[in-house]
Amino acid sequence: MVWIRTIPEDEATGMLKRYYEGARKSRGFLSERITVFSIKENNLRANQTLTSTLMEGESGLSRPEKEMIAVRVSALNHCHY
């Protein structure tokens, strides 16, 4: 559970609502990792850019290797992945 104020899915409007809908459609759920950025639209966009760069950008790691690292870090931080 997040400890900061967020905008719940049923109260989202505009760009945030579209982002929530896209996240739910692609993953089947809306993660708290996304909702923690809901208050500041520019932070939500920055998070999206960072995630895309890290997970889809060129590196010496394959996508499955990147996903395994993300799962391990989430587990160490006691976060749901």
Are 51 and 44 contacting, i.e. CB atoms less than 8 angstroms apart?
Answer: no
**pLDDT, tens only, 3-14:** 788 999 999 999
Cβ atoms of 7 and 38 closer than 8 Å? yes
- Rounded to whole angstroms, how far apart are CA atoms 59 and 53? 10
- CA proximity to 33, closest of 63, 72, 56, 1: 1
Taking only the tens place, the pLDDT of each residue in 28-47 is 998 888 888 899 888 888 98
pLDDT score, position 8: 93
The continuous run of DSSP H or E covering 57 comes out as: none
What does the pLDDT look like over 50-67, one tens digit per residue?
Answer: 888 988 899 999 999 999
Question: 54: helix, coil or strand?
Answer: helix
